[in-house]
Structure 1
Amino acid sequence: MTHALQFYIDGAWVDPAVPNPLDVIDPSTEDAFAQISLGSQTDVAKAVAAAKRAFQTYGFSSVKERLDLLQQIIAVYKKRSADLADAVSREMGAPRPFALRSQVGIGLAHLSKIAEVLSSYKFEEKRGSSLIVKEPIGVVGLITPWNWPLNQITCKVGPALAAGCTMVLKPSEIAPLDAIIFAEILHEAGVPKGVFNLVNGDGPTVGQALSTHPDIDMVSFTGSTRAGIQVARSAAETVKRVAQELGGKSANILLPDVDFAKAVAEGVENCFGNSGQSCNAPTRMLVPRARRDEVVQHAKAAAERFVVGPADADGTMLGPVVSQVQFDKIQDLIESGIKEGATLVAGGPGRPAGLNHGYFIRPTVFADVTPEMRIAREEIFGPVLSILNYDSVDEAVAIGNDTPYGLASYVQGKDMDAVRAVARKMRSGNVYLNDPAWDAGLPFGGYKQSGNGREYAEYGLEDFLEIKGIAGYDAA
């Protein structure tokens, strides 16, 4: 990759102001396989200045111009899909088929959906003699995570471009290579210079510089709740808009009439997908106390079917988690579950047999988890499922909502009236009923400490728009 040590600023690949290389680690081997450069405040200032200049033109571009640009980006994205998949697989450990199908595929879905939305979106509305105008907020800072890197890049960059914003992207320094390829895609697609800029770096330096810069009009951040709080504090000095998608601890309520064999298997699969590294993963399975033993057997069987291995190995279903930091955190939480008295059903501490190197986690299931345990309250971000018992549906709802997070909930049952009734009571931005297909048009975001604002489709577009009311527009 020829541009790995450079940044993309004002339509060109440029060297950092001060050399500061960082190794990119392959989590399957724990070895460095590439280097990037970490940026500085000077690099951010250059990128923001370029975006500010570009906004004077791009901010007033036509819908047709922006739609044509998105279609060009989609075409080049498809052409580079294999390169993107290879990068994601290597840098964050996603098995290669999953990286291409899901990690890269979800990015294409977001770009296609925002193009569809843009083709019919109404940016102006007449109300009597007044005109209501929705216009781009300006220069935006985009800070994205490592776990679903292309999902978060595309569901921010796509709507920002559709709105007419210019931008500076700071991807995760842990999984940065797919973002560099994405910048190459936008360059080849003909994005006007300065409209899209990429500066790699860490949160305390580049993230902080974006959050505090007076010429950044909005920050869109996805990451941990802890980091999101810091972004919001930094942004408050200049009263800029902040949209955040943060942590989660999602409940999966299995109602008494559900097909338990099917529902438990689906719940385990959804919890363990992407090696458990999804903010909306259903990590707390709530089941009727009377069905506890049956659920445990189904969960144990489902967990033991998962094949853990290197991202490039045939048959791998779960790759490693992304880093030593994440590995150590997950191991600590698994140990806490044992110490606090949960019943270990499958997995447990340490690496799977035969895997002595790499950040591999044993697919783990705990039963008899109680709401005060750490594994029931903290976001683990690994393939670890907690099963909690309930005595009534009202108790299940109360336990499900008893969390500082509110990103997603899951409800499974045969009586759809009962399923829908529970869904209405869940305090979360999304509720998934009976394992539905993923929908790029569904608004995504959370209640409480899971963030604010919404992403995907027109909901994501509107996060990047200001509303202007022009009174007397049609007055004589």
Structure 2
Amino acid sequence: MREYRKFYIGGQWVEPAGSATMDIVNPATEEVCGIVAMGSDADVDRAVAAARGALPGWAATPVAGRADVLRAILSEFEKRTADLAEALTEEMGAPKALASGFQVNLGAGHLNTAIEALENYRFEEQRGASLIVQEPIGVCGLITPWNWPISLIAVKVFPALATGCTMVLKPSERSPFSGQIFAEILDSAGVPDGVFNLVQGDGPGVGAALSGHPDIDMISFTGSTRAGVDVAARAAHSVKRVTQELGGKGPNIILDDDDFAANVGKGVASMMMNSGQTCSAPSRMLVPHSRMAEAAEIAREATAHVTVGDPNGDFAIGPVVAKSQFDSIQTLLQQGIDEGATLVAGGPGRPDGLEKGYYVKPTVFADVKNDMTIGRTEIFGPVLTIIGYDNIDNAVEIANDTDYGLAAFIAGADVEQARSVARRIQAGSVVINDAFDFSAPFGGYKKSGNGREWGDFGFLDYLEVKSVLGYGEGDS
């Protein structure tokens, strides 16, 4: 049983202002596996004051000094990877192979990328007689979700540190263990007192206080579109900067070529990873109408190989994070059936033999219309919808017919055609044939948010731009 009853504020582990706690439930067993203190306005005030006090010194730290701190964090991070992976499996049900692999490795990758970007970043340049300076925006409130906890903390904390900002982090109350270990890593690495602060809690208790706090200069939020709207509304009163990475309903256009069968199978596997709990998941597979039956059969066979079970065992996917998530998915599965989609695999209920835990059957629907509920709603579970298209123009039209625009995917042997289609998609990231790049900016169009994370583009929202006119002679 884990017990995390203190917050990290001003370089110290301190008692919360109040006595409220929350039981953390292991989604694989439905049993309490930990207790976490829940913060309040008073805790946020204390953390913000610590961050404000540390800001002048950290902002004035030379780039080389900030890079040294990031390298020290990397050293400590590498020592704690097993601890992080174990926490992820326990708190959100990530299978041990995924937790110790992609879940943790994304955090390390973002840290290495931030170090490289910092060492090559130009914080000032002279244009003619004007000097253009990029300065830290100030104190940042960072609010992160539960589905990729370490990665989504990393893409906020590391750019904030690199650019000279100080911060208060609120991890999700559904995945607090990994956030607590992350704070221990930064403490061991010698991050100066007050530069990084951690307050655990929920949205109403801590997230709202951060969003509306007058002494916070910037809020970076990742989560649902609904919650993002609330964060932005609270932040508006103090005119602070708000960046958001929100929901998605990613199209995956499978081109009509010799690689069709393989690409359908890959699309199924990608959708099911992390139990489908990924905002950038390829949840809408688009295939030619003429190959719908073929795609459905391939998807059915591929889904049969997606094993579900105890995340401590050798299974492809574990449970979804909580009962509320399980119940929401079950409702949407039934809606898909009721609205006339063809159930190819899976469906409502738990997988056979799993009577306890929030396990969802890997599910595929074919013959989905883009205006169906399951075609428009972010299900956030291991559920793939297959939608037919007439031609490439129609595929692009369907792909863009969504409130979201976070990520899109194109799979096919004709790279030139894929490139042409990619230019027409309204999404912040368009992935051709499973490409991956830590340095490519990540963020959304439309209701998927604003701002960008990853690589040097991830620095921009943590910086203010100052123009000093008449600074002196310089190259034009």
Q: Report the TM range for the smaller structure's normalisation.
A: over 0.9
Cross-structure match for 2:6: 6
- Offset, 1:475: 6.9
- Residue 154 (1) aligns with residue 165 (2): no
Q: Which runs of 5+ in 2 are unaligned?
A: none
Cross-structure match for 2:370: 371
Q: Are the equivalent residues in 1 in contact too, given 2:3–2:34 (CA < 8 A)?
A: no
- Offset, 1:270: 0.8
Matches within 5 A, 1:175-254: 175-254=175-254
Cross-structure match for 2:351: 352
Q: Distance in 1 between matches of 2:414 and 2:149?
A: 37
Alignment match of 1:457 (pick from 442, 449, 455): 455
- Residue 361 (1) aligns with residue 360 (2): yes
Could you give the per-residue CA deviations for residues 425-464 of structure 1, whole angstroms, max 9, x where no partner exists? 100000011122x211110000000000000011111110
Q: Distance in 2 between matches of 1:409 and 1:98?
A: 23
Q: Are the equivalent residues in 2 in contact too, given 1:258–1:412 (CA < 8 A)?
A: no
Cross-structure match for 1:115: 115
Q: Are the equivalent residues in 1 in contact too, given 2:439–2:455 (CA < 8 A)?
A: yes
Q: Which runs of 4+ in 1 moved over 3 A?
A: none
Q: Distance in 1 between matches of 2:386 and 2:424?
A: 21
Cross-structure match for 2:282: 282
Cross-structure match for 2:132: 132
Could you give the per-residue CA deviations for residues 246-304 of structure 1, whole angstroms, max 9, x where no partner exists? 00000001111251221011100111111000000000001001111111110000001
- Offset, 1:3: 6.7
- Offset, 1:129: 2.2
- Offset, 1:164: 0.2
Q: Distance in 2 between matches of 1:472 and 1:367?
A: 64
- Offset, 1:474: 2.4
Matched letter for residue 460 of structure 2 = E
Q: Distance in 2 between matches of 1:131 and 1:248?
A: 39
Q: Distance in 2 between matches of 1:283 and 1:351?
A: 20
Q: Distance in 1 between matches of 2:389 and 2:130?
A: 55
Q: Distance in 2 between matches of 1:104 and 1:292?
A: 37
Matched letter for residue 370 of structure 1 = K
Q: Distance in 1 between matches of 2:153 and 2:127?
A: 36
Matched letter for residue 215 of structure 2 = D
Q: Distance in 1 between matches of 2:410 and 2:6?
A: 46
- Percent of paired sites with the same residue: 55
How many residues in Structure 1 have an aligned counterpart in Structure 2? Answer: 474
Q: Distance in 2 between matches of 1:132 and 1:421?
A: 36
Q: Are the equivalent residues in 1 in contact too, given 2:2–2:34 (CA < 8 A)?
A: no
Could you give the per-residue CA deviations for residues 143-178 of structure 1, whole angstroms, max 9, x where no partner exists? 000000001100100000000000000000000110
- Residue 383 (1) aligns with residue 382 (2): yes
Cross-structure match for 2:315: 316
Matches within 5 A, 1:167-178: 167-178=167-178
Task: Find the residue that maps to 1:117 and give its secondary structure.
Answer: helix
Cross-structure match for 2:403: 404
Q: Are the equivalent residues in 1 in contact too, given 2:251–2:285 (CA < 8 A)?
A: yes
Cross-structure match for 1:445: 443
Q: Distance in 1 between matches of 2:8 and 2:79?
A: 20
Q: Distance in 1 between matches of 2:411 and 2:56?
A: 50
- Offset, 1:467: 0.4
Matches within 5 A, 1:330-349: 330-349=329-348
Could you give the per-residue CA deviations for residues 19-58 of structure 1, whole angstroms, max 9, x where no partner exists? 1010111000011110001100000000000000000211
Task: Find the residue that maps to 1:425 and give its secondary structure.
Answer: coil
Task: Find the residue that maps to 1:100 and give its secondary structure.
Answer: helix
Q: Are the equivalent residues in 2 in contact too, given 1:444–1:454 (CA < 8 A)?
A: yes
Matched letter for residue 299 of structure 1 = A
Task: Find the residue that maps to 1:102 and give its secondary structure.
Answer: helix
